[in-house]
């Protein structure tokens, strides 16, 4: 039986260096509004390419690493 379209999309490698705010939010499993707040207050770094706001995947990794380094509450 052939795989479903969503199965092939989710398992396809994504080698892009930058993501939209929505894509970055999906990758972290958070909402778009929360992602915008994290970017706007500087917790997650982003870049502007022309008029577009993008989040480098490296910055998502840095954010998660920083969260792991914080002492548990």
* Predicted TM-score of the model (pTM): 0.76
| Domain annotation covers residue 34 | yes
Residue 6, domain member (yes or no)? no
Q: What is the pLDDT of residues 24-42, one digit of tens each?
A: 999 999 999 999 999 999 9
* 21 touches 56 (CB < 8 A): no
Which pLDDT belongs to residue 11? 41
pLDDT of residue 7: 47
Concatenated DSSP letters of 1-62: -PPPHHHHHHHS----SEE-HHHHHHHHT--HHHHHHHHHTTSS--EEETTEEEEEHHHHHH
| Assigned token pair, 33 | 């509004």
Q: Is the pLDDT of residue 9 over 50?
A: no
Q: Does 11 map to a domain?
A: no
Q: Does residue 60 form part of some domain?
A: yes
Separation CA 70–CA 62 (nearest Å):
13
Asked whether residue 8 is domain-assigned, the answer is: no
**Residue 39 in contact with residue 56, Cβ under 8 Å?**
no
| Predicted pLDDT of residue 8 | 41
Domain span at residue 24 reads 16-69
11-25: pLDDT as tens digits? 445 789 999 999 999
**Domains held by the chain: number:** 1
Q: Is 10 a member of any domain?
A: no
Does the pLDDT at position 44 exceed 70? yes
């Amino acid at each position: 039986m052939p795989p479903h379209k969503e199965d092939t999309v989710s398992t396809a490698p994504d080698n892009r260096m930058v993501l939209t705010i929505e894509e970055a939010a999906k990758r972290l499993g958070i909402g778009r509004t929360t992602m915008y707040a994290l970017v706007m207050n500087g917790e997650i770094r982003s870049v502007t390419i022309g008029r577009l706001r993008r989040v480098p995947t490296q910055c998502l990794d840095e954010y998660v690493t920083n969260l792991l380094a914080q002492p548990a509450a």
